[in-house]
Structure 1
Amino acid sequence: MNNIFFQRIVLALIVFGFTNNSYTQTLKSRPKLVVGIVVDQMRWDYLYRYSEKYTANGFKRLLGEGYSCEQTYINYFPSYTAPGHTAIYTGSVPAVHGIAANDWFERTENKVVYCTSDTSVQSVGGSKKAGQQSPHRLYTTTICDELRLATNFKSKTVGIALKDRGSILPAGQAANAAYWFDGISENWITSTYYMKELPAWVQKFNAKKLPAKYVKENWKMLLDASQYHESTEDDKWYERPFPNEEKPVFEHKVSEIKNQPLAEAIKSIPYGNTLTAEFAKAAIEGDTLGKRGTTDFLTVSFSPTDYIGHQFGINAIETEDTYIRLDKEIASFIDFLNEKVGKGEYLLFLTADHGGAHAVGFNKENRIPAGNVSEKEIFNMADSVLQLHFQKKNLVSAVVNQQLYLDHNNFVKEKLSTKEACEILIPVLSKIAGVDRVVAYEQLSETTLTPWFKECLSNQYKPLRTGDLQLLYHPAWMDDWAVKGTTHGSIFPYDTHIPLVFYGWGVKHGETVSKTYITDIAPTIAALLKIQMPNGATGTPITDLFK
């Protein structure tokens, strides 16, 4: 009897030991923390363009120790911030995840809507409108959601960006938190979608009043002016000055800008990246990310690079100065992760939501064809043509994202044909300067576009959120609000070729020049973590980078 009892005890200990060992192995088979870094509007060539001025421990460390996918492209239209961040973390395209642009005409609401606006939630810690945001317009899960599901919600997922959309969309539906910056209150804020009040560590960080402190330092060149070899001279008419300036030249005394909250300027100067990095460090410590016995996920998006790029363009000293400074922030952040989480204990990737075009004025100055197109002109022309043809008014709802939306309700009411309307408009709109061609989405398969263009447009099409007609501009042409400064959004490489570097846990050193896509990022993270891809993913894992 005692012998049988003893055998049972031994067997139980063996089973317990095996089970416990399996649990330990599961923990060891994943990193302590995953960190996704998105640099808003970072072109792929910025990894190398200013490399002589980069430190050894920023971008160069990522390239020297990580795995770089040198030919990574956006595979949908338009290449904007919201669909870019969403594609990175969902592994999918607008036709599936639903985030068609930053703003779009929503047919179910019969108005232009913002990608994360949500009046059903309230602001927490900031001004009313700034906080009424959530991911409710997103149709799919993100890789952060899938990590939460895979660990039975033991993992923490947190999103951080100055822009609301750069924080909310990556963090996903089931995030523990998403934080963004409100210039009016000068605080990092959130909404009741996530919580009822800000955590103590966020309140403590806000109490430091760092945004105002940074803005008061103004923006001076980090280096001597003679060292900015990769940029044009400082005073260019096609760069957009700050509201208090006559010319767009250093020193930028942003602390003297009137008619806006002092801290609002933090978004448009490099110190905004400093603020973002410091808040990310505070989040790691405040939420004990990477120290809780399970894998956590932190998404960080650096937004000022986009604001600065829009204002000054690709070849500006301001842009070069920003990336030299950002390199130092990246280096400091990696050092922090090594200290707090442990070198080799975290998985990090760095990428971008889109690139950016050279300013129209810069292109013309250098004999490169370029120009601007007016969406207001497109609307007025289409409206008058259809009114003349059908003898009916109000047949065009909007022109947004180079897409023309017909008023389907009025077409049904008046018993008119939207197909006929498109056939009438295509030859007319195609004659506008800067427009290469006009495509009807319902007849996309019948067009003579290249297969790549067709794929990008098909990956965009969401019936209730996409226009009837898509206007495709010539390369280097853009909307007329960017007469000064620049923008992005096209299918061309300057907008769609983005950096992608994986670093740390489970990643070998190397690079590939095989074509990869923005939609491959989330599936790659899922494969490394051995969890499900996001539920709408269309990409595939980049397996060559696995150790």
Structure 2
Amino acid sequence: MKNQVLFLLLVFSFLTVKAQYNEPNNRPKLVVGIVVDQMRYDYLTRFYNKYGEGGFKRMIRDGFNCKNNHFNYIPTKTAPGHASIFTGTTPKFHGIIGNDWFDKKLGENVYCVNDNSFKSVGTDNKKGQMSPHRMLTTTFADENRLFTQMRGKTIGVSIKDRGAVLPAGHTANAAYWVDDKGTGNWISSSFYMKELPNWVKRFNESNKTEQYFKTWDTYYDIDSYTESGDDLNTFEGGFSGKETATFPYDLNALKADNGNYKIIVETPYGNSLITDFTLELLKEEGLGKDNYTDVLTVSYSSTDKVGHNFGVNSKEVEDTYIRLDLDLERLFKALDDEVGADNYVVFLTADHGAPNVPSYLQSNKIPAGLFDLNAMVDALNSELEEEYGVKKLILSRINNQIFFNHKKISKSNLDLSELKERVSNKLLQYRLIDKVYTTSDGNQLELANGYLENMLMNGHNQKRSGDIVFVFNPAVFKDTLWNRTGTDHHSGLNYDTHVPLLFFGKGIAKGSTLQRTNITDIAPTISALLNISLPNGAIGNPLEFVFETQE
């Protein structure tokens, strides 16, 4: 009897603690969502001994580490990644099926956030003509804005427009990105504002961007970078005007041959620039200063650009993460000072991972390869023309999907199902293609219940996706000059899906788990933390074990 009473008292105490934590007025004043573009999970562990105490290690030490966190759809690209993190759902529902995709009505490729109905703000070119209009569902930031009667602010920051626009959602107060191919200024869209705030204008007029036209050398002695391969090798891209992809890089001397400001964002200094801008934003916008929770989204884009250029085994990538760790420490210190250490919560994750380049894997006897998609489509169209007398029945092969010309098929009275069957059988004859799936007449991807099949279905949007989807063998890239060095990403394999998920701050427990979590669990978790509605298309679950219990 005493044991039963004791058990009931413990249960009551636990529920009281949970109830105390979940008090509606116990919300953090600021939520900071950090996305590190192209960060594999093992960058936390490979480079751990090179990190300081105030960045990644602070999050791991003082927060919660979900060690087995994965994307649960294909394709793993930047725009779908950012959209899925903040909406809690997959491309099947939020509609961002790639960075670009083939629009069946327009008959051409479209860019995920391009919107010509709005004007650029802060530049005379088209880099600011962006909005989240193609994202069909809400983000947790949208739900927070609705919950607070639009009193809680939302601001998105990134080098990339899509990295700022999609996380901030439809109701954001502002989103800022860099005109890296033009002025080098921070810019925005008339979707958010008529002109840049004065503090942004002052930032652009300062020399904070130009100061990064300097030499990029390793932060520590290059001989200590034992977690990476040789600095001189044949697997890296490098910069125009420099014979080898080796340290050091004189950015001021190289800028003219590499797009001027573009070279800054293709080094770790792009992440430092993001941090500089974000620290100014925290001071000027007053985030986390009142009783209405604000949301700040920060996407560190330069990690992706360095990764694509140099590859996951490069000393350049290692140095980029060492320097990012220092930028995170700067950001967390600023949050402590501006908002208060007990008033904010941060999560950090990535929009996708990345594999080693195929040539490096092949040099180590690991199966890999490059596949010429353009040659494949030309061959298929030639065969179909010979069989049916109709030219270019295949319009697009973007995102490993085949789009047929339905107007020509209808006009020529061809059988769409027969075409799908014929092309599917032909695709399976290619050595580097592993699997092929077709859609129904209503463009539904109806597959058997399996791990890969579920990922494909989660990435398939009935209105926007193609007629056939195919999957490469592991470590196979599309054959482009760009992909012959560095890295790429797109698949449902672990090197592309396994990414960090760290939480720390107000209301977050200290600990870790090897339990599998999905990228779509993040938005529901933050929504539960804030006691607000889940994003309207969310399919993930709140990760209750990351929440702190207080006595």
TM-score where L is the length of structure 2 = 0.92
Q: Give the aligned partner of residue 205 of structure 2.
A: 207
* CA-CA distance at 1:28 after TM superposition: 3.8
The answer to whether the 8 A contact 1:95-1:461 is kept is yes
2:15 aligned partner: none
Is contact 2:70-2:499 (8 Å) kept?
yes
- Is the Cα–Cα contact under 8 Å of residues 28 and 343 in structure 2 kept in the other structure? yes
Say yes or no: does 1:476 pair with 2:475: yes
Distance 2:279 2:263 in 1: 22
CA contact (8 A) 1:122 1:128 kept: no
Q: Which residue of 2 aligns with 1:509?
A: 510
1:304 maps onto 2:302 in alignment: yes
**Displacement of 1:27:** 7.3
* 1:492 Cα deviation from its structure 2 partner: 0.1
Offset, 1:464: 2.6
Whether the 8 Å CA contact 1:243–1:257 is kept in 2: the answer is no
State the 1:433 CA deviation.
Answer: 3.1
Measured in 2, the distance between the counterparts of 1:464 and 1:107 equals 9
Structure-to-structure mapping, 1:187-206, within 5 angstroms:
187-206=185-204
Tell me which residue corresponds to 1:182.
179
Aligned mates of 1:415, 1:193 — CA distance in 2: 44
- CA shift for structure 1 position 444: 7.7
- Deviation string 1:459-497 (CA, Å, 9 cap, x unpaired) is 111123211111101111111121111101100000000
Deviation at 1:32, TM superposition (A): 0.8
1:398-547 matches, cutoff 5 A? 398-442=396-440, 451-481=450-480, 482-547=483-548
User: Which residue of structure 2 lines up, in the alignment, with residue 266 of structure 1?
Assistant: 264
User: Does the 8 Å contact 1:131/1:191 carry over to 2?
Assistant: yes
**Stretch moving more, 380-389 or 191-200:** 380-389
Do the aligned partners of residues 117 and 39 (structure 1) sit closer, same or farther apart at CA in structure 2, a change above 3 Å counting?
A: same
1:119 is matched with 116
Per-residue deviation, residues 387-409 of structure 1 (Å, max 9, x unmatched): 12211112111111111111112
Contact 1:348/1:504 (8 A) holds in 2: yes
Given that 2:255 and 2:261 are in contact with CA atoms closer than 8 Å, whether structure 1 keeps it comes out as no
Distance 2:540 2:24 in 1: 26
SS of corresponding position for 2:426: helix
Match in the other structure for 2:366: 368
For residue 508 of structure 2, what is the amino acid of its counterpart? V
CA offsets 1:41-80 (integer angstroms, 9 cap, x no match): 0001111111111101111110011011111110011000
Distance 1:26-1:205 versus aligned 2 partners, 3 A rule: farther
Does 1:39 pair with 2:36? yes
Structure 1 residue 260 displacement after superposition: 5.1
Q: Which amino acid aligns with 1:264?
A: K
Q: Does residue 50 in structure 1 map to residue 51 in structure 2?
A: no
Summarize deviations over 1:313-367 as a string: whole Å, max 9, x none. Answer: 1100000011111111111111111111111210100000000010112101111
Q: Which amino acid aligns with 1:502?
A: F
- After TM superposition, the structure 1 stretch with the greater mean CA deviation from structure 2, 56-65 or 246-255, is 246-255
Q: Please say if 1:160 is aligned against 2:160.
A: no
What is the CA-CA distance between 1:212 and the residue it aligns to? Answer: 2.0
Paired residue for 1:385?
Answer: 383
Deviation at 1:290, TM superposition (A): 0.5
Structure 1 counterpart SS, 2:513: strand
Aligned twin of 2:96:
99
**3-state DSSP of counterpart to 1:190:** strand
8 Å CA contact retained: 2:225, 2:315: yes
1:101-134 residue CA offsets vs partner (Å, 9 max, x unmatched): 0000011211101100111111000242111111
Match of 2:395 in 1: 397
Q: Aligned partner of 1:228: which letter?
A: Y
Confirm or deny that 1:313 pairs with 2:314. Answer: no
Aligned to 1:8: none
CA distance in 2, matches of 1:308, 1:457: 28
Percent identity between matched residues is: 42
Contact conserved, 2:445 with 2:457, CA < 8 A, in 1? no
Segments of 4+ in structure 1 off by > 3 A? Answer: 25-28, 443-448
Q: Is contact 1:127-1:182 (8 Å) kept?
A: no
Q: Is the 8 A contact 1:444 1:454 kept in 2?
A: no
SS at structure 2 position matched to 1:179: strand
Aligned to 2:41, the other structure's residue is in SS state: coil
User: What letter corresponds to residue 517 of structure 1 in structure 2?
Assistant: N
Amino acid paired to 1:99:
I
2:74 maps to which of 46, 63, 77: 77
1:7 matched to which residue of 2? none
Alignment partner, residue 11 of structure 1: none
2:342 & 2:290 partners in 1: Cα distance? 17
State the alpha-carbon separation in 2 of the partners of residues 300 and 446 from structure 1.
Answer: 37
Deviation at 1:439, TM superposition (A): 1.3
Instruction: Supply the distance in 1 between the matched residues of 2:257 and 2:417 (Cα, whole angstroms).
Output: 47
Shift of the 311–421 alpha-carbon distance from structure 1 to 2, 3 Å rule, reads same
Letter in 2 for 1:176: N
Whole-Å separation in 2 of the counterparts to 1:390 and 1:209:
62
Aligned amino acid, residue 331 of structure 1: E
Letter paired with 1:523: P
CA distance in 2: counterparts of 1:124 and 1:332, whole angstroms = 28
8 Å contact 1:117–1:133 — kept in the other structure?
A: yes
Deviation at 1:26, TM superposition (A): 7.2
Unaligned runs of 5+ in 2: 1-21
CA shift digits 1:14-55 (9 cap, x unpaired): xxxxxxxxxxx9774111100000000000111111111110
Aligned CA-pair RMSD: 1.5
- Using the alignment, how far apart are the partners of 1:433 and 1:457 within structure 2? 21
